[in-house]
């Protein structure tokens, strides 16, 4: 007898994306997201302006430098992280390679390939990357 079960297991295509969304959002004001640190590129939720975190004060408040000039203090929940794209300079914020900086060479599903300044390549989970200013 031939097995006629043709069911195919499909992974939830939004599983990783859902995790990314929760990582991107600032979260509550009591606890800052792992990416809420200096040099991280962000977008102000109120105006959709691009900015860079210049100084974190007290864990959930930061001074940001707004593109085009000016600066202001924001709370963790007032900004969203800019999702890194290929060729951006990135920082690893979780996993085994925490602290590694490099150029995002390519994204392959949930993995990302980074090129460090010493020309070494690393494969890391994309959800652990943040775009940083140089």
Cα 129 to Cα 38, 84, 105: the distances in Å are 14, 7, 12
Domain boundaries, the chain: 15-81, 89-131
Copy the structure tokens of residue 28: 């509550």
For the domain spanning 15-81, the CATH number is 2.30.30
* 15-81 against 89-131: fold identical: yes
Q: What is the pLDDT of residues 46-60, one digit of tens each?
A: 999 999 999 999 889
User: Over 50: is that where the pLDDT of 128 sits?
Assistant: yes
Q: Assess contact for 89 and 102: CB atoms under 8 A.
A: yes
- Find tokens 């990783």 and name the residue: 16
Q: Within 10 Å of residue 130's Cβ, how many Cβ atoms?
A: 27
For the domain spanning 89-131, the CATH number is 2.30.30.30
User: Over 70: is that where the pLDDT of 7 sits?
Assistant: no
Q: What percent of the chain has pLDDT over 90?
A: 72
């Amino acid at each position: 007898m031939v097995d006629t079960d043709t069911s195919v297991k499909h992974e939830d295509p939004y599983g990783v994306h859902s995790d990314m969304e929760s990582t991107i959002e600032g979260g509550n004001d009591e606890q800052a997201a792992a990416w809420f640190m200096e040099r991280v590129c962000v977008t102000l939720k109120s105006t959709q302006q691009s900015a860079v975190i210049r100084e974190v004060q007290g864990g959930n408040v930061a001074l940001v430098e707004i593109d085009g000039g000016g600066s202001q203090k924001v709370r963790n929940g007032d900004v969203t992280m800019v999702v890194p794209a290929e060729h951006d300079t990135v920082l690893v914020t979780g996993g085994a390679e925490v602290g590694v900086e490099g150029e995002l060479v390519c994204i392959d599903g949930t993995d990302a390939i980074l090129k460090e300044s010493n020309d070494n390549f690393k494969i890391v989970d994309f959800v652990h990357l943040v775009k940083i200013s140089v």
